[in-house]
Structure 1
Amino acid sequence: MKGLLQKLLEQAERDAEVRGVALSRAFSVPDDVPYLNTLQLAALEKEFRDWAEKAGRRDFRASRRRMLLLFLLLRHTGMRLGEAVALNDRGDVDAEEKLVRVQSEKKGVREIPVPRSLIRELEQAGADSDLKPFAGHLFALEPAHVRKTCYAMAKAAGFDRTLGAPGILRRSRAIEMLREGMPLPVAHRLLGMADAGLPSRVMELSPSDVTRSAQYYLDRENRKKTSARNRFYGRIARINRGDIQSEVVLEALGGHVLSSVITNVSLDGLALSEGGYATAEVKAPWVVVMRADSRPDSGAANTFAGRVTSVNRGAVSTEVEVALDDESSVCSVITEESRKRLDLSPGDSAWVLFSAFSVILTP
């Protein structure tokens, strides 16, 4: 595991240097290397959450919630399973700094920034009466039981069961870090990998340098993946290249499939490729809102069902916000006359439509 992961990271850096591009654009994973991409990790997380919510008895509920929190810790930090189950959730989790500290007799303490969402869930767990008996050893689960559960959740999500292994989660997080453009030395430090064989510049990074750099990339990653209005982050499933323009099909984290048409110059300049990741954005004035009992008969490439959550009326124009079924949000600006004709109010079912030419892509 360690050898394979290190080879991937070092090969990516060599490719980037040869091609003279950012590491995130040069990074690719051989077909024979098993890992989960960002969309698959989201699907696995959903499976864990559904499983935890279905618990009946209080002791089952507490056990499953602890397992969910441990999975989230592994998924977002890339730490080893042995490191995770040894964490003290009271002493090693710093909610104020939004990081966890991994203790090691040989390597000292390593700090790993974590998403605000995970910190919130850990704080909620600390206030849960069912979990209070486990305070200080919330993650102290039997490793064999953790692996067995991860295998089961991967199978339930439709993957090969072995892709749920904690070692695969570690590799997947490492690949995700590199694709987000995190510097190789920082990724090595966060993963707790040996310094042997790495460029000498790794040794020049202080712990605070690593933490600040990691937090910057984590914040940037979170901005991409949060459900901001009119923004979808996902994997490029297909590129249909034409003579002048190309269609880029994006599978968003929430499951929606979007189509964007951009020029070949832009496609090449952004270095977009199938299997890579991108953020799709559409401006509010380009979004059409319709009321219909079934899917509207429209030529718009992107048509999604949702529910109106807010209507901000103005003298001339009105802002209408529609929540899709994955909780992402789409905002449209229409004329007040159109709103009156549609008779839109919060709670109404609605469809949002926009052209593929209206979708802006950024890597």
Structure 2
Amino acid sequence: MKTRKGMKPKASEATGPGSPPEEGPARGIRPMPDPDKTLDSIQLDALEQSFRKWITATPRRDVHRSRRRIFLIFLIIRYSGGKLSEVLGLDPTRDIDFEDRFVRLGRPPRQVQLSETLLAEIRGLIAESAAEDGPRQLLDVDPGFVRRKFYERAEACGIPKQLGAPEILRKSRAVEWMQNHMPLPVVQRLLGHSTPNLTSAYVAFSEAEIQQATRHFMEKESARSTSARNAFFGKIQMIQQGDIQSRVEILTLGGHRITTVITNDSLKRLELGPGRLITAEIKAPWVMLHQGDDPRGWSADNRIEGRVERITTGEINTECIVRISDGTAVCAVVTTESARRLALAKGDAVWVVFNSHSVVLLSD
């Protein structure tokens, strides 16, 4: 990636090739973002819509073009979790791969998968602007100017301007990935964090398999067609075939082992075999909760330890959200009477337990 030096724009207009023409005075020293605050998905969507309206709200062609450049930077940061400096250092002709659907960020470079829908929009924005700005210089924008526009768009949709900072968008994306049940080690890798504590199970996945898993999460998020709750994405480790049914063991990206039993007909229809990547889902009513030591005496095959994150009590049933070690959220629905007997509270250590017959395999 190319390196660059930031330039300071004038108060009333941008100067030099790295600063798009824009109206409005400079706002002085940028506010420091609060590292403990993030934007939720609704706020992120509101911010994105604010940018979209802003692009079209000018009759000036040069301003319209410069706003598209700022919006392009926003989209890449918002969906890749990249740092502002990384995104401004991109060469779109080299660092965005539209065929394999990823953007290459940082040093050493890491590949962050993006959805097909998003990349189609990015391609369009680049095509619209590249004819006049040149594709290689398209993202060569002064970082202070970018920050100011991000703050303005945040304020325009009722969000404190500090929360429009690129660092907040990056952190918010990480939280969003976690809430969409992407394992913590994958999130760390996407953000470019060093992860010396990776489990040996996670290391067993190849880079290509990690990219395939990440693409799965991105496309699923983009489609928004189904809930990813209680979903584990992993690799088939072993298949023990019987006369009628087969036992399948899956190693998840977070290092957990999930066991399921399916019919031999399903095994053949899904074309399953060792090394195949697959999604395992468990419906919330099939998840049991257990307090105390590892429940090895239980007949259930699957036992994962976590901590209670949220409890929603209803008249008949109670929903418990348990966060396990890799960051995945597991939902259990129990009767309210059972919940009272368990006397669970937020932060309590608990085991989520489910039978192998409760696991459904989904092949993409």
Give the TM-score normalised by the residue count of structure 1.
Answer: 0.52
Q: Residues 62 and 130 of structure 1 are in contact (CA less than 8 Å); yes or no, is this contact kept in structure 2?
A: no
Q: Structure 1 residues 225 and 65 mapped into 2: Cα distance closer, same or farther (>3 Å)? A: farther
Cα distance between partner residues in 2 of 1:223 and 1:117: 9
Deviation string, structure 1 residues 113-141 (Cα, Å, up to 9, x no partner): 11222211222123326754231232221
Letter paired with 2:77: L
Q: Which residue is 2:224 aligned to? A: 224
Check whether the contact 1:110–1:207 (CA below 8 A) recurs between aligned residues. no
**Match for residue 86 of structure 2?**
83
Aligned residue in 2 for 1:138? 138
The yes-or-no answer on 1:244 pairing with 2:316 is: yes
Letter in 1 for 2:190: L
Deviations 1:160-189 (A, max 9, x none): 110000000010000011111111111111
Query: In structure 1, how many angstroms separate the alpha carbons of the residues matched to 2:106 and 2:314?
Result: 54
Cα pair 1:58 1:130 within 8 Å, conserved? no
Instruction: For structure 1, list consecutive stretches of 5 or more residues without a partner in the other structure.
Output: 1-30, 227-238, 248-262, 270-363
* 1:149 lines up with 2:221 in the alignment: no
Q: Which residue of 2 aligns with 1:206?
A: 206
CA shift for structure 1 position 216: 0.9
CA distance 1:152–1:126, shift in 2 (3 Å): closer
Aligned partners of 1:245, 1:205: CA distance in 2, in Å?
39
Structure 2's unaligned 5+ residue stretches are 1-33, 227-310, 320-332, 340-364
**Aligned-residue identity in percent:** 35
Q: TM-score, normalised by structure 2?
A: 0.52
Residue number in structure 1 paired with 2:77: 74
Quick check: 1:36–1:168 contact (8 Å CA) kept in 2?
A: yes
Report how many aligned residue pairs link the two structures. 211
Any residues of structure 2 matched to 1:301-316 within 5 Å, and which?
none
Give, in whole Å, the separation in 2 of the partners of 1:56 and 1:168: 31
Which residue identity is paired with 2:168?
I
The structural deviation recorded for 1:55 is 2.3
Assess, with a 3 A threshold, how the Cα gap between structure 1 residues 214 and 242 changes in structure 2: closer, same or farther: closer
Q: Which amino acid aligns with 1:143?
A: P
For residue 195 of structure 2, give the secondary structure of its aligned residue in structure 1.
coil
For 1:136 and 1:161, the matched residues in 2 are separated by 30
| One-letter amino acid of the structure 1 residue matched with residue 128 of structure 2 | D
Q: Deviations over 1:12-71 (max 9, x none)?
A: xxxxxxxxxxxxxxxxxxx99200000000000001111111122111011000100110
Q: Which residue of 2 aligns with 1:38?
A: 41
Report which stretch shifted further, 126-135 or 84-93: 126-135
Q: How does 1:169-208 map onto structure 2 within 5 Å? A: 169-201=169-201, 203-208=203-208
AA aligned to 2:224 is K
Relative to structure 1, is the Cα distance of residues 120 and 32 closer, same or farther in structure 2, using a 3 angstrom cutoff? closer
Partner of residue 65, structure 2: 62
How far apart, CA to CA, are the structure 2 residues paired with 1:32 and 1:83? 19
CA contact (8 A) 1:89 1:135 kept: yes
Structure 2 residue matching 1:100: 3-state secondary structure: strand
Task: Give RMSD over aligned pairs.
Answer: 3.2
Residue range with higher mean Cα deviation, 42-51 or 109-118:
109-118
Residues 164-222 of structure 1, C-alpha deviations (whole Å, 9 max, x = no match)? 00000010000011111111111111110122445455544432122111101112212
Partner Cα distance (1:58, 1:123) in 2: 20
Partner of 1:25: none
Q: 1:190 to 1:240 in 2, by over 3 A?
A: closer
- Largest Rg, 1 or 2: 2
Looking at structure 1, the residues matched to 112 and 35 of structure 2 have their Cα atoms a distance apart, in angstroms, of: 29
CA contact (8 A) 1:78 1:170 kept: yes
Corresponding residue SS for 1:112: strand
- Give the aligned residue type for 2:125: A
